[in-house]
Amino acid sequence: MMTDRIRTFLDEVRPDSPCLVVDLETVQERYLAFRRALPDTAVHYAVKANPAPDVLRLLVQLGSAFDAASLPEIRAVLAAGASAERISYGNTIKKERDIAAAHALGVRMFAVDSFAELDKVARAAPGAGVVCRILTDGAGADWPLSCKFGCDPDMAAEILVRAKALGLVAHGIAFHVGSQQQEPDAWDRALSMAASVFRSVAERGIQLNLVNLGGGFPAHYHGNIPNLTEYARTIKEALHRHFGNRIPETVIEPGRAIVGDAGVIRSEVVLISRKSAGDSVRWVFLDIGRFNGLAETENEAIRYPIRTASDHARREPCVIAGPTCDSADVLYQHQPYPLPVCLDIGDEVLIECAGAYTAPYSSVGFNGIRPLQTYVI
């Protein structure tokens, strides 16, 4: 989302293109919107969405907790000023020595989705808390995380029972309904599964007390998505429906919805061409592509709003591609993107809602291109 502050920064500082500019005012506003919409739910910001130190520092000051995917992310959150008890290690795929190092730093909450991972946690982080992640199908999500993470509810119950036997604290269930999830009902389906695990574990004498509702809340790439209050209402209703009088503690782990709308990528047109004299579709090559920040255009999954200075002029569909010598570096082709016919080489192109999953995804030097530079303002 373009803001006055970002526009002023681009005009006055004129940073080299391409670059990502993140407006902390938007980050703060989105974080506080979650606090208001779900006041009884702890927010653990998913660091991987945008680990820029200034973003982490702001969220530490606002009182956020953090979901880290790795030891370097845990260290980054600690360096930003958070205490270790505000960090959960949510990746279900961890080296045992990283679990031990996180535990030594004071991290006490680990996610697992298999017996083998549970055994690692029991050895490397004795007495720690665990949540078991259950599978969801990712339906309704533009960037599904389905099938790689989680186990079925029956296995989750067994894992949690074993966790207790191993001396760990069996806290509860985690899930992620898929990123950029457009259907609030996805949480209802997942909560119904979570409640069934609570019941079957309770029959074995263990009372679970936590549901980690994951991320998945959307950024506003386009207009027609439910607003946050609708997600919150669906979640609250589902908690009452499936848990009755024993509503567990809850955690959400938004990444995209906190930082996505806060960032704008400034890029530049490198080339505009056609493949033959009669070709009706122009190819527009930008100085940013799949390998220096726009990885989520894979399969055209995420369709960023793209703005130019002449959007009011007549527009025609274009193929948009990145600058590298790799044929996978094409952003939008199956669904061509309308760009002004007067667009020219050297023109500025703004890619909006680009604060999440862009800079950290950029390669360190593919084709000699440096990683996408981030400016946090």
Ligand X SMILES: *Cc1c(COP(=O)(O)O)cnc(C)c1O
Q: How far apart are CA 260 and CA 138, in angstroms?
A: 20
Q: Min. distance of Cβ 7 from ligand X in angstroms? A: 26
Would you list the DSSP string of 64-106?
-EEEESSHHHHHHHHHTT--GGGEEE--S---HHHHHHHHHTT
Other Cβ atoms less than 10 A from the Cβ of 272: the count is 15
Question: Least Å distance between CB 272 and ligand X?
Answer: 33
Token couple for 109: 């909450």
Helix (H, G, I), strand (E, B), or coil: what is residue 282? Answer: strand
One-letter amino acid for residue 98 of the chain: D
Q: Is 269 helix (H, G, I), strand (E, B) or coil?
A: strand
120's tokens: 């690692």
Identity of the residue, 215 or 248, whose beta carbon is nearer to ligand X in the bound complex = 215
Based on CB atoms, which residue is closest to ligand X, 258 or 284? 258
Residue nearer to ligand X on the CB measure, 261 or 329: 261
Least distance CB 256 / ligand X (angstroms):
3
AA identity, residue 227: N
Q: How far is the CB of 206 from ligand X (least distance, A)?
A: 23
Which residues does the annotation mark as catalytic?
325
Coil vs helix vs strand at 306: strand
**Least distance from ligand X to the Cβ atom of residue 356, Å:** 6
Determine how β-strand 282-286 pairs with β-strand 263-273: antiparallel
Q: CB of 169 within 8 A of CB of 209?
A: no
| CA 214 to chain CA mean position, Å | 10
Nearer CB in complex with ligand X: 148/240: 148
Q: For ligand X, give the closer residue by CB, 174 or 319.
A: 174
- Strands 19-22 and 263-273, how do they pair? antiparallel
d(CA 59, CA 373): 21
CB 200 to ligand X: min, Å: 23
Q: Catalog residues that contact ligand X under the rule CB under 6 A.
A: 46, 48-49, 67, 90, 176, 179, 214-217, 253-257
Angle between helices 228-243 and 24-37 (to 10 degrees): 30
For ligand X, the closer of residues 179 and 362 by Cβ is 179
Closest contact distance (angstroms) between CB of 70 and ligand X is 11
122 contact partners, CB below 8 Å, separation of at least 6: 163, 166, 167, 168
Q: Residue with the closest Cβ to ligand X?
A: 215
213 vs 350, beta carbon nearer ligand X: 213
Task: Please tell me the distance from the alpha carbon of residue 159 to that of residue 161, in angstroms, as a whole number.
Answer: 5
d(CA 150, CA 69): 15
